[in-house]
Amino acid sequence: MVNLVVAKKKDGKLIKGSVGNFLPNKLSFHINTLIDKTESIIELKVEDLKAIFFVKRLEGDKTSHDVPEKITLPKIHAMGKHISVNFIDGEIIEGYTHSLHLDRAGFFMTPNDATSNNIRIFVVLSSVAKIIADDKEIILSAETEIKRTCKTCKKTMDKDWKYCPFDSTKMENSEDIWNV
């Protein structure tokens, strides 16, 4: 499936094009851009980006995702849990996410405004200052990396393990902060 995207780099530069191979656990992806009516394929590193906006249209309608003033958004929604993402550059994007992973380069969120040009947004974690959900700040620092332990034997588990190799206890999906 080909998606239209606006990739925003950490330096503010925008790269628009279509993307066929974006996966949240990959470190880079290819974007097919149209520059002077010539197609060219550029490889983008996720770490160079601030966010990737999956959009309805590439032109017009700036990537507007601002919350209309003074609207209190519901905390839980069909699109997930409400979050407020505060970027290092000062921008704040509000929306919803079904699951938040801190062990990947970033995560997907859906903007709260269905009329927005954005369908969903991949937020690159290294460009985020803080995330607020349920009026609480989610700690993003590396020291708080989630340790998985087996609830039966209490040994530390590798994050890819689905079952404890010592006693076969099924691991909960603890790299997710939540799933709603």
Decide: helix, strand or coil at residue 100: strand
Between 145 and 166, CB nearer to Zn ion: 166
> What mask of x and - would describe binding to Zn ion in positions 26 to 65, judged by CB under 5 A?
----------------------------------------
Q: Are 55 and 118 in contact (CB under 8 A)?
A: yes
Nearest in space to 77 (alpha carbons), one of 63, 98, 102, 106: 98
167 binds Zn ion (CB under 5 A): yes
Angle value at C-alpha 92, between 180 and 49, nearest 5 degrees: 90
48: tokens are: 């160079």
The residue range among 78-86, 109-117, 135-143, 145-153 that interacts with Zn ion, by the rule CB under 5 A, is 145-153
Least separation in angstroms between CB 161 and Zn ion? 10
No. of H helices and E strands in the chain? Answer: 0, 16
**Does residue 150 belong to the site contacting Zn ion (CB under 5 A)?**
yes
The Cα 43–Cα 63 span in angstroms is: 22
Integer distance in angstroms from the first to the last C-alpha of the chain?
Answer: 25
Task: Write down the least CB distance from residue 121 to Zn ion, Å.
Answer: 38
174 binds Zn ion (CB under 5 A): no
| Selected range binding Zn ion among 60-68, 77-85, 117-125, 167-175, rule: CB under 5 A | 167-175
65-124 residues in contact with Zn ion (CB under 5 A) are none
Element (H, E) at 58: none
Of the pair 25, 152, the CB lying nearest Zn ion is at: 152
The three-class DSSP label of residue 162 is coil
**Least distance from Zn ion to the Cβ atom of residue 158, Å:** 12
Question: At its nearest, how many Å lie between Zn ion and the CB of residue 171?
Answer: 9
- Site residues (vs Zn ion, CB under 5 A): 150, 152-153, 164, 166-167, 169
